Amino acid sequence: MPEPAVRRLSLYLRELEGLLDRQCETISSRQLGSLLNLTDAQVRKDLACFGQFGHPGVGYRVSELVVRIRSILGTDRTWNALLVGSGHLGRALLSYRGFARKGFRLIAAFDNDPTKINQRVGAEPGILVEPMDRLPEAVARRGIEMAILAVPQSVAQTVADQLVAAGIKGILNFAPASISVPAHVSVATVDLAVHLEQLAFRICTRQVELERQTAGKQQGADAIGGPSR
C-alpha cells in the first residue's frame, strides 16, 4: 500500500467524520476530492487500494466509509498511549483533545526530572508524572502499546531504547532526531521545524510563480498596448 495513499485515508476520514456530524449521508468522489483539493480520480484510486466502497449512482455512504476506513487504519478500537517528557510540548500534547476523539487514550506520563515527577499535568484532573523506572511495569500492567516521545534530541535514542525494551510497539517521535528501533516497532516522526521549513519553500515557490504570471501579463499588455511594437 503506497504511503501517501494511507496518509490521504486519514484526511478522507477527517472530512467524512465532519460530514457525519452534519448528518450528511452520501458523498461522491468528486465532492470528497474537492474538500481536499484532490481529483475525483485520485479519491477513487486511493479507496480502490483498500477494497470496493462505492455504490453506482449513490457514491459513498458516509457512515459505511467511516467504519471501513477506521477499520483499515486500526482506529476502530481504543489505543492506550503514554507520554515521555513533560516539558511544554509534552504538557500541550496531554491537554490536546484531538487524540481522545480518535480513540487514543494518553493514560500515563514519565519524566526523569525530579522537579516534574509527582506533578499533575495536562487537562483536569491531570495525569501524575512518574519516574522513568516505573515505565516497564506501567506498560505491562496497563496494556500500553504506543508512546509519544517529547524529550530533547540528546536523549531521544536512549528513551526510545527504554520504550522498546518495555514492549512499546509504536513511537510518535517529536524529538528533532531520527531514532533507530527494531523491525517490530513502528515510528512516526513529527518534526515541527521541518513543517515550517516546508512552508517556507511553498511561500518562496508561490512568490516566484506569481511574479512570473505578473511578468507574463505585463508582457501581454505591452504587446497589445505598447506604443513601439
* C-alpha to C-alpha distance for 8 and 14, rounded to whole angstroms: 10
Polymer length in residues for the chain: 229
Using the rule CB under 8 A, which residue among 20, 45, 53, 72 binds a second copy?
Answer: 72
**For residues 55 and 142, which CB has a smaller minimum distance to a second copy in the complex?**
142
**For residues 135 and 179, which CB has a smaller minimum distance to a second copy in the complex?**
179
Give, rounded to a whole angstrom, the gap between the first and last alpha carbons of the chain. Answer: 57
Tell me the closest approach of the beta carbon of residue 107 to a second copy, in angstroms.
Answer: 14
Tell me the closest approach of the beta carbon of residue 133 to a second copy, in angstroms.
Answer: 25
Phi and psi at residue 173, to the nearest 5°:
-100, 115
Contact between 62 and a second copy by CB under 8 A: the answer reads no
Using the rule CB under 8 A, which residue among 80, 99, 107, 119 binds a second copy?
Answer: 99
Stretch 164-223 residues interacting with a second copy (CB under 8 A): 169-172, 176, 178, 183-188, 190-207, 210
Stretch that binds a second copy, among 2-10, 39-47, 126-134, 217-225 (CB under 8 A): 2-10
**For residues 199 and 221, which CB has a smaller minimum distance to a second copy in the complex?**
199
**For residues 140 and 194, which CB has a smaller minimum distance to a second copy in the complex?**
194
Tell me the closest approach of the beta carbon of residue 57 to a second copy, in angstroms.
Answer: 27
Q: If you write DSSP's letter for every residue of 150-204 in order, what string do you get? A: -S-GGGHHHHHHHHHHHT--EEEE-SSS-----TTSEEEE--HHHHHHHHHHHHH
- Map residues 127-166 to x or -, x wherever contact with a second copy holds by CB under 8 A: ------------------xx-x------------------
Contact 66, 20 (CB under 8 A): yes
* C-alpha to C-alpha distance for 109 and 94, rounded to whole angstroms: 9
Number of residues that bind a second copy (CB under 8 A): 65
Grid cell 527494531 is found at: 182
* C-alpha to C-alpha distance for 62 and 24, rounded to whole angstroms: 7
* C-alpha to C-alpha distance for 134 and 128, rounded to whole angstroms: 12
**For residues 140 and 210, which CB has a smaller minimum distance to a second copy in the complex?**
210
* C-alpha to C-alpha distance for 222 and 219, rounded to whole angstroms: 5
Using the rule CB under 8 A, which residue among 30, 44, 61, 102 binds a second copy?
Answer: 102
Q: If you write DSSP's letter for every residue of 83-127 in order, what string do you get? A: EE--SHHHHHHHH-THHHHTTEEEEEEEES-TTTTT-EESSTT-E
Q: Where do contacts with a second copy occur on this chain (CB under 8 A)?
A: 1, 4, 6-7, 9-11, 13-15, 35-36, 72-75, 79, 81, 87-89, 91-93, 95-96, 98-99, 101-102, 104, 145-146, 148, 169-172, 176, 178, 183-188, 190-207, 210
